[in-house]
Chains A and B, each alone.
Chain A
């Protein structure tokens, strides 16, 4: 039985439809990431699952039971908010016990659950503090701890890393991944606009765009078999090169897509002749921006260091097996061209 099921779910504010006929089925214990650009409806979808937004149409089921009309606290879910949303006037302990208290649990039971969660997240020594005495990372842990004490069937994360600085973000990301493994029966739904978070955390990714599901799949499926030009462009960094004109038409498509890492660079020979306009050196990689005659700007990713500099003439060779072709509507064109 699916853990979380969305059947033809839609959402509109007045006449503005923000989500259209969403159909999704999440397995128990799965880590699912909703990803998409801002305004795509991913947060709204999460909030509908949480019960903070009304479901305009369709049905939401959790463990088979319809949830449209169930109060948020009775859905067996817990949520970690973007801003942590800790109660500023309560201690960490009180923050974690507040929900249990509302659920009328006995005091020893509350105590046991809070202690267990605190131990798991190594925040036992913080239990007596107020949120303002904590660092950003500690607040984040308390927010997760508060969610864990509820012992939820479904765990919701709404962009939980966006308020952390870059270094802490990576650490916390790893912790959340570890948490997913430590709670194997709990379904995790995680919303982010950052495709790196999506790729690293997810068992499955749901890509949303303009209120529609663009594609659902494992990170590698999305990377190698994007179901649309949008997904192809959204997943992967640096972005896939999209070329139009003759090179696409030659393959019977409107758009010809090739990832920067799927292009070989040579100084003597290759399919495309061009000139380097800019290089970005990251140490581990080098991004080479080149202007190819008759095709346009192409970005190439070379592992390690590349001995090219601006103005230099180069030859580029796309890996034919990794080319993605799209029609005018951005749908993939069937039949991969063989070289």
Chain B
């Protein structure tokens, strides 16, 4: 049974609209980033110029290069640390029966619901106390508040679904809990680790509020704050070309990651949210 023609046309129009709205803003940002000078102030729908001046300006003048490295450093360390802390915790939460396990999971989950602003003043004090203000470690440290509950939650769900008998076989083989994690579970958990690591990376890469608050000098900032703070001498001299070039630079790797790991990310997101 073939659907009537108008239905097919309607369906593909809808698909077209969905794709267009999703892709157009980023396309337009790329377009703008390749324009310079006066061309910027004419509305174009199709690429007219291919001028890399904006990119050159962003990458050679000022500290944007350093800021990208800051972001890479923070996001990478956050991913490694939270995975390390989460794997052992997830093993305990998913595989070992002990009193208070349910309550503990609930607590971890509720931390992920915390509004960042609610801990901001307290965290500010802690960071100053440890002398981490304006240090990248302040971000590594504070980002744990959202990456850790999430990774623990997803890895716990994943581990819970690994067969119990494999672990029991390892117990019979005389493996300690730590050996079980390292030699038996870790090799089986790569898919989940890649997914959660990727999501934690994206989250840390994009974070704004803490980065805005805990870092005070330009050379220490991460890219979201850097982009937000790019300004001209007056409201009428905002360097939109530079902003768009910077935006494209920080977004392209993410878009690439998301497209490559599409399936993994989707499964991670849904594991984190749907399995309530």
- Asked if A74 contacts B174 (CB within 8 A), the reply is yes
Number of interface residues of A (CB under 8 A): 24
- The answer to whether B166 touches A102 (Cβ under 8 A) is no
In the complex, the answer to whether B168 meets A81 with C-beta atoms within 8 Å is: yes
Binary contact track B144-173/A, C-beta < 8 Å → 1, others 0:
000000000000000000010110111111
A85–B168 touching, CB < 8 Å: yes
Whether A85 and B174, one on each chain, are in contact in the complex, defined by CB atoms closer than 8 angstroms, is no
**Are A87 and B184 touching (Cβ within 8 A)?**
yes
Q: Are A83 and B165 in contact (CB under 8 A)?
A: yes
User: Roughly how many angstroms separate A207 CA and B172 CA in the complex, as a whole number?
Assistant: 26
For the complex formed, measure the closest distance between the CB of A29 and the CB atoms of chain B, giving whole angstroms: 21
- The reply to whether A52 and B171 contact each other, CB–CB distance below 8 Å, is yes
Within 8 A of A (CB), among B161-208: 163, 165-166, 168-175, 179, 183-184, 187-188
A87 and B166 contacting across the interface, CB-CB below 8 Å: yes
Give the residue of A52, A79, A86, A99 whose beta carbon is less than 8 angstroms from that of B174.
A99
Size class of B's contact patch?
10 to 19
| Contact of A83 (CB < 8 Å), options: B163, B175, B179 | B163
Residues of A within 8 A of B168 (CB): 52, 79, 81, 85
Judge whether A102 and B169 touch: CB under 8 Å: no
Contact of A99 with B165 in the complex, beta carbons under 8 Å = no
- Please report the C-alpha to C-alpha distance between residue A78 and residue B165 in the assembled complex, in whole angstroms: 13
Chain B nearest CB, measured from A76 CB (Å):
11
Residue of A nearest to B171 (CB): A72
Establish whether residues B165 and A85, one from each chain, have CB atoms under 8 Å apart when the complex forms: yes
Q: Given known contacts A82-B165, A102-B179, is B174 in contact with A88 (CB within 8 Å)?
A: no
Which positions in A face B, CB cutoff 8 Å?
50-52, 71-74, 77-79, 81-83, 85-89, 98-99, 102-103, 146, 150
**B interface with A by C-beta (< 8 Å):** 163, 165-166, 168-175, 179, 183-184, 187-188
Enumerate 13 A-B pairs (CB-CB under 8 Å) in ascending A order.
A52-B172, A72-B171, A73-B174, A73-B175, A78-B172, A85-B169, A86-B169, A87-B184, A88-B166, A99-B172, A102-B175, A102-B179, A146-B169
